[in-house]
Amino acid sequence: MSQALENLLQENRSFPPSDEFTAQANAKPGVHDEAAEDYLAFWKKQAMDRVTWFKEPTMVLDDSNPPFYKWFQDGELNVSYNCLDRHLEAHGDQVAYHWVGEPGDTRTLTYSDLAGEVNKFANGLRSLGLNKGDRVAIYMGMIPELPIAMLACARLGLVHSVVFGGFSSDALSSRILDSDCRIVITQDGAWRGGNVVPLKDNTDEALKSTPGVTHAVVVKRTDHGVAMQDGRDVWWHDLVDGQSDECEPEVLNAEDPLYILYTSGTTGKPKGILHTQAGYLTGVSTTHSYVFDVKSDSDVYWCAADIGWVTGHSYIVYGPLANRTTGVMYEGAPNYPEFDRLWQIIDDYKVSIFYTAPTAIRAFMKWGDEHVDKHDLSTLRVIGTVGEPINPEAWMWYHEHIGHGTCPIVDTWWQTETGGIMLTPLPGVTATKPGSATTPFPGISADVVDEAGNSVPLGGGGFLVITQPWPSMARTIYGDDQRYLDVYWSRFPGKYFPGDGCKRDEDGYYWLLGRVDDIMLVSGHNISTTEVESALVSHPSVAEAAVVGRKDEVSGQAIAAFVTLRSSASGDESLINELRDHVAESIGPIAKPKSIVFTVDLPKTRSGKIMRRLLKDISENRQLGDVTTLANADIVAEIAEKSSTSSD
């Protein structure tokens, strides 16, 4: 039988932390071993040190009904209290968010400001007749009212379901229906690339099919004039007008639900992932502190994700605020009005920690170095990535151009379902390798297994699994325990199966290899998409690449590649041959793409992830699968056109 997954790509560069960094780091060498000795004791200590409890838990893990694990089950707390109130006495004047609007307007919210706004809005929500446990849909852009709305829900024990503001009315209504939301919080419009995204109009459309929604609360942001329906719609500013800026936090149980969030939909229909209170807060505050090395008193931290994704929930809102972080929040597009908007913000606010996605990094590379290199960026000291495997060449670009050759890079692997970071370097501990998410976070225990669930020896590839429960894990798929069991817990009994392929090198470092569903079977070899794509991206003409296994009479599957070139390169027949040879030389002839199509873009989710399943549908002339989370529909038609005319 063939190996679970071939190991083709070799990467020998390594970047150890400097002694100075290690000396001042939040997480010190030894922390992994200490946690491994007794992982429950490790998490209990984090929960006691980092959470302010109304009633301290006496229990750590309840594993009586796996995989429906419970953490700190008899504890009582309030997450918004932990993010706000407890900081106020000594640090009320500290900035919580430096907010930058896309048109150039700015707002500064201190912890006192934020607490006051949250309380007023919570009182407003209460006046709408909502009760603990009710679901609230939030469909907004990146304005301060978004975290304010989330924290107000958390304060009252309402369960928020944030729907990314780039989604259509259909995506909104299906998510509202799936979790039976009572109200929607939105805004008239959001700024994006100089245009107004008509969030209120989309909401109106969505609410035609959601009879359970009684109210829409609307923030005035673009002020472009929207229809307000009498009795249903209420302006945010009217709702908070005259409300007290004090609001008692609900005393909640550790396992009460905190939020529902739908996955990105890269592999199919999104799943409504449910997270609860205490374990989640413990997980995100611990990882945020250790992975980003955040110092409450001095750092300026910027996670440039959208709060509509889990990255924003955990690392713009809950983790950073629990850790009393000063953060930056930016409303708009990274290339508006110019390609250097992000770098300008880093210089303006002296940002010291920056977290973004490989898809963004590849876009920066595509746009050209000059936009970055004219900026100082010297205040940066830690930089991170999340969302997809990062190709080693993109990692090196990030290291050189953003991290000025010295910032530790934290490549963080995790998912909506895991709530917090799972595999990652610790910047004062781990020697990084470009393209590797390195090792499990302290207190997390992972493995790479074959089809039969047996551990694959170091040097080999297979399926990533998590072998012990962890506090910030999903509790279920909302309303569908059976699907939760089927998708994550049935393939390898007793182990959590995230759906990603992975290999480990001789040092025990983990290398994520893409989705298991996307693995290509070529002449009896299981080949990961990531390794072939990284080989393509290591060619100087290539900015981005996606590969899929297309049905082939000879080899079972043949590798079909879709390649976006850097702005300086032009795609012709000779480059196709050059790229095929380049892949064969760098990782082996078995991985040589049979066909290559040049395209200006690739089909991506609205969170920017490549949707290989659509490329596979195109390659095999099939009707496209679920496209509700697709961001750029035009490109699919264009690629389909090119694929049908390209020869092998």
Residues at the interface with Mg ion (CB under 5 A)? 263
Residue placing its CB nearer to ligand ATP in the complex, 191 or 497: 497
* 263 lines the binding site for ligand ATP (CB under 6 A): yes
Using CB distances below 5 to 8 A depending on partner kind, what does residue 44 bind out of Mg ion, ligand ATP, none? none
Nearer to ligand ATP, 330 or 496 (CB): 496
The residue among 142 and 386 lying less far from ligand ATP, judged by its C-beta, is: 386
> Whose Cβ is closer to ligand ATP: residue 98's or residue 613's?
613
Total residues contacting ligand ATP by CB under 6 A comes to 26
| Nearest-5° Cα angle at 478, 475 to 480 | 100
CA pair distance 292, 619, nearest whole angstrom: 41
Distances (CA, A) of 415 to 25, 311, 564: 25, 9, 26
264 binds ligand ATP (CB under 6 A): yes
| Residue 154 host element (H or E) | helix 145-156
314 binds, among ligand ATP, Mg ion, none (CB under 5 to 8 A by kind): none
**Minimum CB separation from ligand ATP for residue 497, in Å?**
11
Q: Which of 130, 278, 386, 639 binds ligand ATP (CB under 6 A)?
A: 386
Contact between 311 and 330 under an 8 Å Cβ cutoff? The reply is: no
> Applying CB under 6 A, which of residues 265, 308, 419, 440 lies at the interface with ligand ATP?
265
Residue 31 DSSP one-character state: H
Binding to ligand ATP by residue 613, rule CB under 6 A?
no
Cα radius of gyration rounded to whole Å, the chain: 24
Q: Which is nearer to ligand ATP, 512 or 519 (CB)?
A: 512
Residue closer to ligand ATP (CB basis): 306 or 500:
500
**Given the DSSP bridges, would you call strands 353-356 and 382-385 parallel, antiparallel or unpaired?**
parallel
Instruction: Pick from 17, 165, 166, 387 the residue near ligand ATP by CB under 6 A.
Output: 387
| Rounded distance between C-alpha atoms, residue 218 and residue 234, angstroms | 6
Strand pairing class (326-330; 300-303) = parallel
CB of 75 to Mg ion, least distance (A): 29
Name every residue whose Cβ is closer than 8 Å to that of residue 523 and which is 6 or more positions away in sequence.
Answer: 555, 556, 590
Q: Which of 6, 113, 233, 388 binds ligand ATP (CB under 6 A)?
A: 388
DSSP classification of residue 431: P
Region of 83-91, 266-274, 372-380, 444-452 interacting with ligand ATP (CB under 6 A): 266-274
Residues 554-593: x where in contact with ligand ATP by CB under 6 A, - otherwise, as a string: ----------------------------------------
SS3 content of the chain, % helix, strand, coil (to 5): 35, 20, 45
- CB contact at 8 A, 136 and 126: no
Alpha-carbon span 547 to 597, nearest angstrom? 10
Cα-based torsion angle of the residue sequence 43, 44, 49, 54 in order, rounded to the nearest 10 degrees: 130
Q: Site for ligand ATP (CB under 6 A): which residue of 318, 413, 463, 496? A: 413
Query: Which residues is 328 bridged to in the sheet?
Result: 98
Write out the two tokens for 262.
């739908």
CB closer to ligand ATP out of 81 and 511: 511
| Footprint (CB under 6 A) of ligand ATP, residues 421-460 | 437
How many Å apart are CA 164 and CA 265, to the nearest integer?
12
Using the rule CB under 6 A, is 416 a contact of ligand ATP? yes
Shortest distance, CB of residue 304 to Mg ion, whole angstroms? 21
Shortest Å, Cβ 531 to Mg ion: 20
Nearer to Mg ion, 203 or 605 (CB): 605
Q: Which residues contact 241 (CB under 8 A, 6 or more apart)?
A: none
Write down the least CB distance from residue 264 to ligand ATP, Å: 3
* Cβ-proximal residues to 354 (8 Å cutoff; 6+ apart), any chain: 302, 304, 346, 380, 382, 383, 384, 402
How far, in Å, are 522, 552, 582, 610 from residue 560 at the CA level? Answer: 11, 10, 15, 15
Within 463-522, which residues bind ligand ATP (CB under 6 A)? Answer: 498-500, 512, 515
Strands 190-192 and 195-197: antiparallel
297-336 footprint of ligand ATP as x/- string (CB under 6 A): ------------xx--------------------------
CB nearer ligand ATP, residue 199 or residue 273: 273
Q: Which of 606, 609, 612, 616 binds ligand ATP (CB under 6 A)?
A: 609
Q: Which residues have C-beta within 8 Å of that of residue 553, sequence separation ≥ 6?
A: none
Task: Output the smallest distance, CB 546 to ligand ATP, in A.
Answer: 14
Residues that bind ligand ATP (CB under 6 A): 263-268, 270, 309-310, 386-389, 411-413, 415-416, 437, 498-500, 512, 515, 607, 609
